Amino acid sequence: MSGIVAYTGSSEAAEILIEGLSRLEYRGYDSVGIAVLGPSGKIVRKRCSDKSRRLRDLLQDGVPPGNTAIGHTRWATHGRPSNENAHPHTSCDGKIAVVHNGIIENYRDLKEDLIEKGHKFTSETDTEVIAHLMEDMLKKTSDLREALALTKKKLVGSYAIALISADHPGEIVAAIKNSPLIIGISDEGNFIVSDLPAILPYTKKVIFLEDGDTAHLTPDKLKIYEESGSKIERKIETISWSPLLAEKQGYKHFMLKEIFEQQRAVQETLMGRLQVEKGQVVFENFKPDPEKIKNIKRIVLIGCGTAYHACLVGKFLIEDFIKIPCEADIASEFRYRKPLINKETFVIAISQSGETADTLAALREAAALGAYTGAICNVIDSSLAREADEIIYTHAGPEISIASTKVFTSQLTALYLLMLRLGNITGSIKPEEAIKISEELIRLPLKIKQILDSQQDRIEEISKKHFKQKNFLFLGRNINYPIALEGALKLKETSYIHAEGSPAGELKHGPIALVDSELPVVIISTEGCVYDKVASTIEEVLTREGRVILLATQGDERVLQFTEDIIWIPPTLELFTPLLNVVPLQLLSYHIARLLGCDIDQPRNLTKAVTVE
Ligand code: F6R
């Protein structure tokens, strides 16, 4: 996902932008650029499409002086990654510079019209039309924000735009539609960014722009206008995230840091919500009318990638404990398959970013069909969080590594809480059972720590043994089948090794053909209702000389006969085994990717939030 950082104030803007943009690198990008409005009254641009070069190299032949600037990390959608296509883009006279996230769907038509009028284009991007449109609009009005409002009327698509003009020193204007922007307010100036980590070192005072808003910033003033054009006051919020949370703090990679942060992330997601002694859950935002919950006939969980795997676990929880039919669906499938949804369906979207295009579209489709909607999200005030009827936040803090780890375990934690809440309301979970579940739920953070402390050396050894293999198979059954899928996805993403996840019972229906004396087969065989069935699967793999790696319950000596590659998991209630089992699989992927020398935090071709279809 592309990132935007813009600043106007009393400090040197280029330095601030480079620092801010470096904090957005985690989102994945293929080029970077800044435009600075200098004291000479000219806009100076620096752009680079060589990702391997550090951002600071942009400035190796001198920092452009100036106190107003816009910057961008680009993840190519329209036009290949190149210096010419890197943002900021400028108008013909070079007096307007613009950065943009999203897609201008009608840019071809606009470009044709503009070319007919004599505009000269220098890139293949959709974004450049905005700079040329602004050039025309500024002939109609000298007010920069008004010109942007007129330009917006021509645009179809989704966008977060920030722009500067050589004729308007100290000013930045911005607009959003279906793509977030946040204003940061400080004594040294004002900021516009697409993502909070970019401003955390400078300020914690922020305003989340709302869909349709335009904003006008100067070093000491800011004005916001809603879609209709009327001026509006938006609430200033204070962010509690510490800038340290967005730094590596001595870990070699963000992914490793985030794996080790899971104890805290799960704890914070539980904090203030779980009343252990009563077996009850109270959410800050999700306080539905009990009658509404009692009328729900079906629950549908939707998400993409890792979030979809959380949905699959959620399906087991809801059907087993709430006794309401529940489906888990991939958002990109749901949105096009004419789902049967009505007002008795509760559709819950799960997403780290809250900006995933398919998940948002699926939620909107569900809402249009009359569903009661909810979202489990990590990013506060994200589009999904704003659009859903109900919102449950995962309190994992910013997740910087592209491969999701701590947010996944936090999503599972939120699902356990949701299950308990629904159980409290419907009475499907008896108070004594709810207390038993709560007592174990509160112990999970410590058990995560136990796994990481006691198993990390063993996991590293197992990684060393197998990292050169070209294929891996992950098997799990029942509530741990989604964890086999997640283990495989994590390995693919971080190490580029082909990995397949499969329900263990499906092995003999096809995947068993892959098993030979080379293939590492990771089998989740912690204690639970399918323990004996999984033991048969282990035998089937061993008979074909597969190289078995087991996840087993601490103290279960029966598995010692199968292999020496065993990762031990502390005993827990079966419903919680997915949350504990996924932790060593994340670490296994991490170590294999590290041994292979992969770009762990920013794997090739991936981006942190897939905001385009
Ligand atoms: C996997 C991963 C992706 C995301 C997916 C959904 O590690 O990060 O599979 O889970 O793109 O993203 P969100 O959760 O932001 O909707």
Q: What is the pLDDT of residue 255?
A: 95
CA distance 283 to 305: 26
Q: Residue 373 pairs with which residues in a beta bridge?
A: 347
Please give the backbone phi and psi of residue 65, each rounded to the nearest 5 degrees, phi first: -75, 155
Tokens of 437: 């579940």
Say if residues 373 and 326 touch (Cβ distance below 8 Å): no
For 218, other C-beta atoms within 10 Å of its C-beta total 17
- Is the pLDDT score of 469 beyond 60? yes
Residue 183 pLDDT level (bands cut at 50, 70, 90): very high
Tokens of 414: 């939120």
- Is the pLDDT score of 385 beyond 80? yes
What are the strands of the beta sheet with 547-553, ordered from one edge?
498-503, 471-476, 520-524, 547-553, 566-569
Interval 389-393 mean pLDDT: 93
> Is the distance from the beta carbon of residue 538 to the nearest atom of ligand 1 less than 6 Å?
no
Of ligand 1's listed atoms, the one at least distance from the Cα of 356 is 16
Q: How far is the CA of 304 from the centre of ligand 1 (A)?
A: 6
Q: Give strand ranges (E) for 40-171.
A: 43-48, 68-74, 89-90, 96-104, 157-165
* pLDDT tens column, 89-141: 999 999 999 999 987 889 999 999 999 999 999 999 999 999 999 999 999 99
Q: What is the pLDDT of residue 243?
A: 61
In three-state secondary structure terms, 202 is: coil
Angle of CA points 357, 358, 362, to nearest 5°: 120
Q: How far is the CA of 520 from the centre of ligand 1 (A)?
A: 26
* pLDDT tens column, 133-171: 999 999 999 999 999 999 999 999 889 999 999 999 999
Q: How far is the CA of 607 from the centre of ligand 1 (A)?
A: 9
- Four-residue CA torsion sign, 510, 515, 519, 523: positive
> Is the distance from the beta carbon of residue 383 to the nearest atom of ligand 1 less than 6 Å?
no
CA distance 25 to 195: 11
The residue among 5, 210, 179 whose CA lies nearest residue 103 is 179
For atom 16 of ligand 1, the residue with the nearest CA is: 351
* pLDDT tens column, 450-467: 999 999 999 999 999 999
* pLDDT tens column, 191-234: 999 988 899 889 999 999 998 999 999 999 999 999 999 999 99
Residue 188 pLDDT level (bands cut at 50, 70, 90): very high
Residue 83 DSSP symbol: T
CA-CA distances (angstroms) from residue 14 to 11, 450, 582? 9, 45, 42
User: What's CA 89's distance to the chain center, in Å?
Assistant: 27
Place of tokens 């041994």: 595
Q: What is the pLDDT of residue 52?
A: 58
Exposed (0-12), middle (13-18) or buried (19+): which is 424, by Cβ within 10 Å? Answer: buried
Say if residues 563 and 549 touch (Cβ distance below 8 Å): yes
Angle of CA points 506, 511, 514, to nearest 5°: 155
> Is the distance from the beta carbon of residue 493 to the nearest atom of ligand 1 less than 6 Å?
yes
Q: What is the pLDDT of residue 27?
A: 62
Mean pLDDT for all residues in the chain = 93
Residue 606: which residues within 8 A CB-CB, separation 6 or more? 28, 402, 403, 493
Side chain identity at residue 8, one-letter code: T
> Is the distance from the beta carbon of residue 609 to the nearest atom of ligand 1 less than 6 Å?
yes
Q: How far is the CA of 176 from the centre of ligand 1 (A)?
A: 23
What does pTM read for this prediction?
A: 0.74
Residue 249 pLDDT level (bands cut at 50, 70, 90): low
For 410, other C-beta atoms within 10 Å of its C-beta total 31
Domains defined along the chain, listed by start: 3-245 (3.60.20.10), 248-442 (3.40.50.10490), 447-613 (3.40.50.10490)
Tokens of 266: 């799960």
* pLDDT tens column, 539-594: 999 999 999 999 999 999 999 999 999 999 999 999 999 999 999 999 999 999 99
> Is the distance from the beta carbon of residue 396 to the nearest atom of ligand 1 less than 6 Å?
no
Q: What is the pLDDT of residue 525?
A: 98
Q: How far is the CA of 178 from the centre of ligand 1 (A)?
A: 18
CA distance 356 to 613: 8
Q: What is the dihedral of CA 21, 22, 25, 31, to 10 degrees?
A: 60
Interval 54-62 mean pLDDT: 71
- Is the pLDDT score of 398 beyond 90? no
- Is the pLDDT score of 605 beyond 80? yes
- Is the pLDDT score of 381 beyond 80? no
Q: What is the pLDDT of residue 608?
A: 79
CA distance 416 to 208: 29
Q: How far is the CA of 569 from the centre of ligand 1 (A)?
A: 26
Angle between helix axes 406-426 and 431-441 (nearest 10 degrees) is: 170
Residue 566: which residues within 8 A CB-CB, separation 6 or more? 549, 550, 551, 552, 559, 560
For 336, other C-beta atoms within 10 Å of its C-beta total 11
Q: Residue 522 pairs with which residues in a beta bridge?
A: 474, 549
CA distance 331 to 303: 5
Q: What is the pLDDT of residue 244?
A: 57
> Is the distance from the beta carbon of residue 351 to the nearest atom of ligand 1 less than 6 Å?
yes
Angle of CA points 325, 305, 438, to nearest 5°: 55
Q: How far is the CA of 389 from the centre of ligand 1 (A)?
A: 22
> Is the distance from the beta carbon of residue 511 to the nearest atom of ligand 1 less than 6 Å?
no
- Is the pLDDT score of 612 beyond 90? no
Q: What is the pLDDT of residue 230?
A: 95
- Is the pLDDT score of 1 beyond 60? no
Exposed (0-12), middle (13-18) or buried (19+): which is 599, by Cβ within 10 Å? Answer: middle
